[in-house]
Structure 1
Amino acid sequence: MRKQQSVQILYFANGSDGPFVEIVSVKQQKRRTSVCSSADSESDDLLPVLINHSQILKELHLEQLMSHIPARAQGNQWKLVYSTAVHGTSLRTLYRQMAELDRPVLMVIRDTDGQVFGAFSSDPFRVSSYCYGTGETFLYSFSPEFQVFRWTGENSYFVRGFLDSLQMGGGGGPFGLWLDADLYRGSSYSCNTFCNRPLSLHHDFTVQELEVWSFV
């Protein structure tokens, strides 16, 4: 049987003549550090610090997403920029919440089937007359197991924002991820940009919760 590693932690309590010792497992200590994280921590296997509460993201989601976030966003705290639970269901509001951002964002969706999926965008979402983004952009899904779909290099149809829809991925057919103006209806099909499978259980889905996180 593999012996569990442990560490000793010394504490100095007020009014005490000396330190007292607590023995915890290495795994417990990592988890503590991830929750109370200091800016000096550089361990890749620590969970990110979420400044705000997430209605969707669980520890397992964070653990699996972390290794795929580009290096320039690694080690940053995650800040909730937009949430349907907080800001209502409006694509216009989503754009407005990101008007001052100049950094990547992570979109997380939970649909009415309970499936979690979304996209990492190298650029904040905005209305544009052309496609924008870089090869850092990717789609992902936890439905039914975690998969990441990265840029194939075939085209550069990363993101395009309209007032009535948000589109990600494309090329001669449906979009990798599409959302309507009310952030209520969506669809996901295989596309040339990411060569992804549908992110949800069904091509067409209904959004239950949607969040967008930035890295600060």
Structure 2
Amino acid sequence: MGNKQGRSSSPEFLSACRRFSTSELQDLRALFVSLASQSRSDGEFISASVFQAHYGIHGSLGSRLFDLVSFSRKDQRVYYEDLVMSKAIYEKGSPDEVEKFTYQLVDLLGDGRVQRSEAEAVVLSTLETVLGPKDAIPGAGLPESSIQGFVDAAELSTDGNHEAYVSDLEFRKWCHLIPSLKKFLGGLLTSPSADVLGRQVPQLRCPENIPSFLKREFAWHISGILPQVETQEWSLLYHSSVHGLSFNTFLSRLTSVGGPSVLLIKDEDGNMFGGYASQSWERHHDFFGDLKCFLFSLQPRSAIYRATGANNNMLWCAVNYTSESIPNGIGFGGQKNHFGIFLPASLDRGHAFPSVTFGNPCLSNKSTFNIDIIECWGVVLDTEESTKASASGGTILERFKEDRNMLNMVGIASASNSVG
């Protein structure tokens, strides 16, 4: 597709057109005409500056997207045929085509390999776009540790020159651990909007005098696995430095509102992690919850750990039981006295173990950790939108099916199922 003549009759272009409906092609033509007009090209092409301004992708990722859409011609022009063929692959292609395109996208140098430095640049470009350039300046609005935390979720390979890089298989695993990044990279050619998947950051309702460690990049990360109705607004329900380390106070503030919530823990070693409870915290003598629950880590490594289906031990909330077989406190995953995360009613120390429930490693440096801060955020639901989402039915199971397919592909699900 290197020259203009013959593009509109090429087999590649004609095949791409067949992936769209007539109305979709009309919309694409209208978009091209608008952007070409802004480019002052007599309707012939879209310039790089207009293209990047329209899609609003900051940093090196925006340049790489333009390079792929223009088929690396280096003439700084995107023709109508380029736009149709790129969107045909990126938005209408098979999973393998989309994954190949996305991997090429993060391969900023175009050498067939995603080096660590490229992964860092992709994360920075993503956060610049999602948070805004002013809030994504390393060392100022955005801590360098946040960028490294996202990159460190990827398992890196090493070549003969000891250069660290992310292989295509490890890239898939990386996207699975950071679903917000996967959503963002999968929607770059969608017209920019606050509602576009991967660009949503919950509005955090928190009094200014409370020093929350839930930063916007962390909220973006956690919300990546949630339905849109649960990514609009979160409200701080409990903060240990303000409300005290009283389990009764802690639980009463969590149950006063009800509904989904996000529990965050910072231990004295600086590790930040937590879990998402899809249901209200209520007194039980056994595990409860559903497949929407998950664990996550924020620092030093950012990752989401979803339900594997190995067991149904999602949530634990026991209060004032006298039996030693029923530990008082709240927790996620694992088994009794061997939880993925557990906060005892004394709130003196927490416990963390690897669990087959969520396929997570130990989220602290050690299984028993000293607590520095506990926060809990309530997910504010729009009642009308929530009802619509519930009425659609099957969304949890469909998402779980997709997750299981991903786990099987990378060899995780079979390993989980083999462990009791």
The equivalent of 1:11 in structure 2 is none
- Cα distance in 2 for residues equivalent to 1:80 and 1:172: 28
Higher deviation after alignment, 146-155 or 158-167: 158-167
Please tell me whether the aligned partners of residues 254 and 376 of structure 2 are also in contact (alpha carbons under 8 angstroms). no
1:68 aligns with 2:225: yes
1:145 aligns with 2:301: yes
CA-to-aligned-CA distance 1:42-92 (integer Å, 9 cap, x gap): 244142211115521123312322212334412x21101111122111222
1:30 is displaced (CA, Å) by: 6.0
Letter of the 1:84 partner, please give it. Answer: S
The equivalent of 2:347 in structure 1 is 183
Q: SS of 2:369's equivalent? A: strand
Q: Which has the higher contact order (CA 8 A, sep 6+)?
A: 1
Letter of the 2:216 partner, please give it. Answer: E
Please tell me whether the aligned partners of residues 130 and 200 of structure 2 are also in contact (alpha carbons under 8 angstroms). no
Please tell me whether the aligned partners of residues 143 and 199 of structure 1 are also in contact (alpha carbons under 8 angstroms). no
Query: In the TM superposition, what are the counterparts of 1:200-211 in structure 2 within 5 Å?
Result: 200-211=364-375
How has the CA–CA distance of structure 1 residues 64 and 28 changed in structure 2, closer, same or farther, with 3 Å as cutoff?
closer
How has the CA–CA distance of structure 1 residues 88 and 152 changed in structure 2, closer, same or farther, with 3 Å as cutoff?
same
Q: CA RMSD in A?
A: 2.7
Letter of the 2:212 partner, please give it. Answer: Q
Relative to total residues, which structure has the larger helix share, 1 or 2?
2
Please tell me whether the aligned partners of residues 267 and 373 of structure 2 are also in contact (alpha carbons under 8 angstroms). yes
Percentage of pairs with the same residue: 26
- Cα distance in 2 for residues equivalent to 1:70 and 1:58: 20
- Cα distance in 2 for residues equivalent to 1:152 and 1:61: 23
- Cα distance in 1 for residues equivalent to 2:341 and 2:130: 38
Please tell me whether the aligned partners of residues 166 and 179 of structure 1 are also in contact (alpha carbons under 8 angstroms). yes
Please tell me whether the aligned partners of residues 131 and 158 of structure 1 are also in contact (alpha carbons under 8 angstroms). yes
Q: SS of 2:205's equivalent? A: coil
CA-to-aligned-CA distance 1:126-150 (integer Å, 9 cap, x gap): 3212321110000111243111111
The equivalent of 1:16 in structure 2 is none
Higher deviation after alignment, 185-194 or 113-122: 185-194
Q: Which structure would you say has the larger Rg?
A: 2
Higher deviation after alignment, 127-136 or 50-59: 50-59
Query: In the TM superposition, what are the counterparts of 1:43-62 in structure 2 within 5 Å?
Result: 43-44=196-197, 45-53=199-207, 55-62=212-219
Residue 199 of structure 1, aligned match among 352, 363, 383 = 363
Runs of 4+ in structure 1 over 6 Å off: none
- Cα distance in 1 for residues equivalent to 2:246 and 2:335: 26
1:80 aligns with 2:236: yes
How has the CA–CA distance of structure 1 residues 70 and 28 changed in structure 2, closer, same or farther, with 3 Å as cutoff?
closer
Q: SS of 1:176's equivalent? A: strand
Q: SS of 2:359's equivalent? A: coil
Letter of the 1:56 partner, please give it. Answer: F
Residue 121 of structure 1, aligned match among 277, 288, 295 = 277
Higher deviation after alignment, 144-153 or 164-173: 164-173
How has the CA–CA distance of structure 1 residues 30 and 180 changed in structure 2, closer, same or farther, with 3 Å as cutoff?
closer
Letter of the 2:223 partner, please give it. Answer: M
CA-to-aligned-CA distance 1:12-61 (integer Å, 9 cap, x gap): xxxxxxxxxxxxxxx589649x9xxxxx9524414221111552112331
- Cα distance in 2 for residues equivalent to 1:165 and 1:172: 11
Give the TM-score taking structure 2 as reference length. Answer: 0.41
How has the CA–CA distance of structure 1 residues 192 and 98 changed in structure 2, closer, same or farther, with 3 Å as cutoff?
same
Please tell me whether the aligned partners of residues 169 and 176 of structure 1 are also in contact (alpha carbons under 8 angstroms). yes
How has the CA–CA distance of structure 1 residues 154 and 186 changed in structure 2, closer, same or farther, with 3 Å as cutoff?
same
Letter of the 1:121 partner, please give it. Answer: A
1:104 is displaced (CA, Å) by: 0.6
Q: SS of 2:204's equivalent? A: coil
Q: How many residues align?
A: 189
How has the CA–CA distance of structure 1 residues 87 and 144 changed in structure 2, closer, same or farther, with 3 Å as cutoff?
same
Letter of the 2:259 partner, please give it. Answer: R
Query: In the TM superposition, what are the counterparts of 1:167-178 in structure 2 within 5 Å?
Result: 167-171=331-335, 174-178=338-342
1:115 is displaced (CA, Å) by: 1.0
1:184 is displaced (CA, Å) by: 2.8
Relative to total residues, which structure has the larger strand share, 1 or 2?
1
The equivalent of 2:259 in structure 1 is 103
Q: SS of 2:251's equivalent? A: helix
How has the CA–CA distance of structure 1 residues 154 and 182 changed in structure 2, closer, same or farther, with 3 Å as cutoff?
same
Please tell me whether the aligned partners of residues 70 and 136 of structure 1 are also in contact (alpha carbons under 8 angstroms). no
Give the TM-score taking structure 1 as reference length. Answer: 0.76
How has the CA–CA distance of structure 1 residues 172 and 98 changed in structure 2, closer, same or farther, with 3 Å as cutoff?
closer
